[in-house]
């Protein structure tokens, strides 16, 4: 089947055409990074305006690049949450309009399910599986007993991993988003500061990154007051090492406690080179029979292709929404299963 998928939850407008949930015929991504950069983060009104301007252009381009017509489509899918309400509304309105005009079923997709299903472009997923979601707004360990059944077994108590990268980046005068820049700086530095590894030894799968962020900021400010300049590359490497240590160790503990053959590491922070290497090493040493799957770099951050892949699972179950579908900015996984046939 062919699914036209819309994504507009944050600052990327993206539309894709996906065949059978596994093949990308097109995946057009209009990023707003250049207009959000100067504000040091995503300004909701700016994001909405961009989505309005871009969404029909992206849809047309996605159809043209895929070389398909609306008559060829099986369904229209859209991210309806979680995310910025004004941003989500534009994708939802666009998808509803196309579905209505062309008499196509509408498939509502949870953005975080989309991040997980980006891994489907690497290989077929085998259940039960474990997924680590590390992105700008989430840090969760999710257990999937079967396709499309999500159970959050671990979560962050405060900041998300990507959010911590971006906030620390600001202290280092790096432009938003800072994740990739800290990743690059880390390669030239060493973990000399030994920042705290929060909640590492607690018997749960939860995370906390605000203490690390404070420790980092205090270290930099104290040095500034003494008139000292600290090594930027060592600061970056130390921060990143702390994040990776906690994430990898706690996720590996879950991977051993649950009966899984695959571990999916997804979300924007899954693009981190140090995190990828650390997981590969940990899996080789501790669970060599388990497969660790990272989506291709380009599909780690927000895109329509991953929404099309997640929609395929709902399509196979016959799940769909109608014209009353609304954006749900605080959507959690529990609601994703509300849409059953």
Task: Give the footprint of ligand ATP on this chain (CB under 6 A).
Answer: 9-10, 83, 111, 115, 135-138, 162, 165-166, 177-180, 183, 267-269, 271-272, 301-302
Smallest distance from ligand ATP to CB 307, Å: 12
**83 versus 189: smaller Cβ distance to Mg ion:** 83
Give CA torsion, residues 91, 92, 95, 100, to 10 deg.
-150
Binding positions for Fe cation: 111, 115, 302
Dist CA 133 CA 267 (whole Å): 6
Measured in degrees and rounded to the nearest 5, phi and psi for residue 289 equal -85, -10
> Which of Fe ion, Mg ion, ligand ATP, none has residue 312 at its interface (CB below 5 to 8 Å by kind)?
none
- Where does this chain touch Fe ion (CB under 5 A) — which range of 88-96, 219-227, 298-306, 313-321? 298-306
Q: Give the distance, in angstroms, between the CA of residue 22 and the centroid of all CA atoms in the same chain.
A: 18
> Which of Fe ion, ligand ATP, Mg ion, none has residue 308 at its interface (CB below 5 to 8 Å by kind)?
none
> Which of Fe ion, Mg ion, ligand ATP, none has residue 178 at its interface (CB below 5 to 8 Å by kind)?
ligand ATP
Give yes or no for a cis peptide into 82 (omega within 30° of 0).
Answer: yes
Per the structure block, which two tokens stand in for 302? Answer: 């927000």
**9 versus 208: smaller Cβ distance to ligand ATP:** 9
**21 versus 81: smaller Cβ distance to ligand ATP:** 81
Give yes or no for a cis peptide into 195 (omega within 30° of 0).
Answer: no
Smallest distance from ligand ATP to CB 237, Å: 13
**Helix, strand, coil shares of the chain as percentages rounded to 5?**
45, 20, 35
Dist CA 285 CA 279 (whole Å): 10
**Options 135, 208, 272, 303; binder of Fe ion; rule CB under 5 A:** 135
Smallest distance from Fe ion to CB 158, Å: 18
Contact 141, 130 (CB under 8 A): yes
The footprint of Mg ion on residues 269-308 (CB under 5 A) is 302
Smallest distance from ligand ATP to CB 91, Å: 13
Binding positions: 111, 115, 133-137, 166, 179, 183, 272, 302
**66 versus 269: smaller Cβ distance to ligand ATP:** 269
Bridge partners (DSSP) listed for residue 50 = none
Give yes or no for a cis peptide into 177 (omega within 30° of 0).
Answer: yes
Smallest distance from Mg ion to CB 135, Å: 8
- Directed axis angle between helix 210-225 and helix 232-257, to 10°? 170
Dist CA 93 CA 90 (whole Å): 5
Task: Based on the shown chain and the rule CB under 5 A, indicate whether residue 208 belongs to the binding site for Fe ion.
Answer: no
Side-chain-side CA neighbours of residue 306 (13 Å): 30
**148 versus 302: smaller Cβ distance to ligand ATP:** 302
The β-bridge relationship of strands 23-31 and 12-19 is antiparallel
Smallest distance from Fe ion to CB 176, Å: 15
**Options 3, 4, 5, 10; binder of Mg ion; rule CB under 5 A:** 10
Dist CA 134 CA 279 (whole Å): 13
List residues near Mg ion by CB under 5 A: 10-11, 302
List residues near Fe ion by CB under 5 A: 135, 302
């Amino acid at each position: 089947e062919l699914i036209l998928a819309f994504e507009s939850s944050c600052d990327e407008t993206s539309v894709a055409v996906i065949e059978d949930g596994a093949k990308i015929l097109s995946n057009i991504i209009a990023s707003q990074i250049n207009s959000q950069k100067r504000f040091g983060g995503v300004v909701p009104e700016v994001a909405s305006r961009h989505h309005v301007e871009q969404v029909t252009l992206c849809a047309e381009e996605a159809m043209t690049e895929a070389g398909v017509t609306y008559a060829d489509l099986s369904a229209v899918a859209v991210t309806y949450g979680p995310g910025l309400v004004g941003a989500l509304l534009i994708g939802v309105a666009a998808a509803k309009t196309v579905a209505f005009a062309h008499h196509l079923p509408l498939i509502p997709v949870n953005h975080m399910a989309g991040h997980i299903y980006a891994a489907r472009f690497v290989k077929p997923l085998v259940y039960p599986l474990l997924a680590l979601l590390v992105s700008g707004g989430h840090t969760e360990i999710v257990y999937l007993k079967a396709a499309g059944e999500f159970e959050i077994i671990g979560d962050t108590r405060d900041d998300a991993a990507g959010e911590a990268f971006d906030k620390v980046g600001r202290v280092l005068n790096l432009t938003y988003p800072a994740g990739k820049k800290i990743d690059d700086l880390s390669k030239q530095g060493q973990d000399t500061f030994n920042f705290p590894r929060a909640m590492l030894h607690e018997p749960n799968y939860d995370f906390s990154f605000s203490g690390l962020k404070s420790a980092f900021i205090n270290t930099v400010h104290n040095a500034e007051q003494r008139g000292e300049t600290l090594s930027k590359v060592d600061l970056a490497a130390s921060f990143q090492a702390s994040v990776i240590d906690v994430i990898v160790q706690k996720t590996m503990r879950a991977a051993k406690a649950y009966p899984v053959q695959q571990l999916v590491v997804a979300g924007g922070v899954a693009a981190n080179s140090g995190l990828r290497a650390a997981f590969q090493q940990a899996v080789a040493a501790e669970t060599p029979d388990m497969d660790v799957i990272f989506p291709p770099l380009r599909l780690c951050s927000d895109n329509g292709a991953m929404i099309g892949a997640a929609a395929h699972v709902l399509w196979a179950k016959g799940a769909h929404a109608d014209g009353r579908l609304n954006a749900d900015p605080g959507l959690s996984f529990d609601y994703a299963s509300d849409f059953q046939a």
